[in-house]
Amino acid sequence: QRYKRMWESLEENDCWEGEVWNRRKSGEIYLAWLVINAIRDASGAIHRYVGAFSDITKRKKDEEKIWHQANFDPLTDLPNRALLVDRASEAMRLAKRENTSLALLFIDLDRFKHINDCYGHAAGDEFLIEVGKRIAASLRQSDTVIRLSGDEFIALMPLIHHVEDASRVAEKIIAAISQAYEFNGRKAYV
């Protein structure tokens, strides 16, 4: 289908450009931007084509990195507030389409300031990473844990059939994050 559109564009506009996968002499596959121009003879018939490739692998990687930085928390690598809006909108559409519910659990940690004050900010960072992991381990693969800011997280569950399901997950999350955290051989709780 894509190549059909390419040939139609060449026939109608004498040019086409777009992304294609190409192979280096080494056999490595890479993403390239291909520009093809049709050259017509004196009668107006296409006589030959001229194409130029440019490797866009680095540009694509840079774009992906920028997108990731905009949508994921730099400390925990969890989705952030920007991605929450997108995922919550998708969850609402899915719940409506499947005639189910969704759950959005707001998790605000108590005593986080105490951990930062007593053990230092590096320990506080480790703690937030661990909390994110514990919340994620309490969720299904289809659910999402989001770091909203500071010590605030959100658990988004797009498909909930019964309110009790969300309640059980909330209890599971509380149990997981209430377990002891160790910092330099000392235990702390939130």
Catalytic pick among 73, 77, 125, 151: 151
Contact 17, 36 (CB under 8 A): yes
Contacts of 32 (CB under 8 A, 6+ apart): 19, 20, 21, 22, 53, 54, 55, 56
Name the residue among 166, 171, 168 with its Cα closest to residue 103: 166
User: Are residues 124 and 117 in contact, defined by beta-carbon separation less than 8 angstroms?
Assistant: no
187 strand-pairing partners: 182
Question: Could you confirm whether 117 is annotated as catalytic?
Answer: no
For residue 57, the SS3 value is helix
Residues assigned a catalytic role? 151
